[in-house]
Structure 1
Amino acid sequence: MRLEFLENGPIRLEGKGFRLRIGDREEVLERPRVFLCRCGGSANKPFCDGAHKRLGFQAEGGVLEVEEA
């Protein structure tokens, strides 16, 4: 799995598919890429809706790669 923290933007999560738990809700996403909000302004949390552009969100970028043992 790969997490890319986009400069001034969301977290791009790449993998084979995802199981997200949000409170009591669980969602299975069968897509290779998901964009998660990190500015706190999305109306569709935890997913990015582009609010970071409107809010002028600023943060450094970076990459985290996770491999299963």
Structure 2
Amino acid sequence: MKITVVANGPFLIDTSGEWSWTGEAGTKTGKDRIALCRCGASGSKPLCDGTHRKIGFTAEGGECELTPG
């Protein structure tokens, strides 16, 4: 699994497979990647909806890679 902190944007999580998220709004699923809100203003939290661009969110980026075991 690789987590990329996008400069001025969300956390991108490369799952290398399918993912599912269960919350108050039900279950959402997708493939390979999930973008999590980092600006706190997304209308679809915890997922990113691009609001960071509208509000001028700024923050540094980076990345880390996690290996099982």
Q: CA deviation at 1:13?
A: 0.7
Q: Are residues 64 and 21 of structure 1, via their aligned partners in 2, closer, same or farther at CA, if it must alter by over 3 Å?
A: farther
Number of aligned residue pairs: give it: 68
Give the TM-score normalised by the residue count of structure 1.
Answer: 0.83
5+ residue gaps, structure 2 = none
Higher percent of residues as strand? 2
5+ residue gaps, structure 1 = none
Greater CA drift, 24-33 or 56-65: 24-33
Task: Please tell me the residue identity of whatever aligns with 1:43.
Answer: G
SS at match of 1:31: strand
Q: What corresponds to 1:61 in structure 2?
A: 61
RMSD of aligned residue pairs (Cα, Å): 1.8
Task: Write the distance in 2 (CA, Å) between the matches of 1:63 and 1:42.
Answer: 22
Q: What corresponds to 2:29 in structure 1?
A: 29
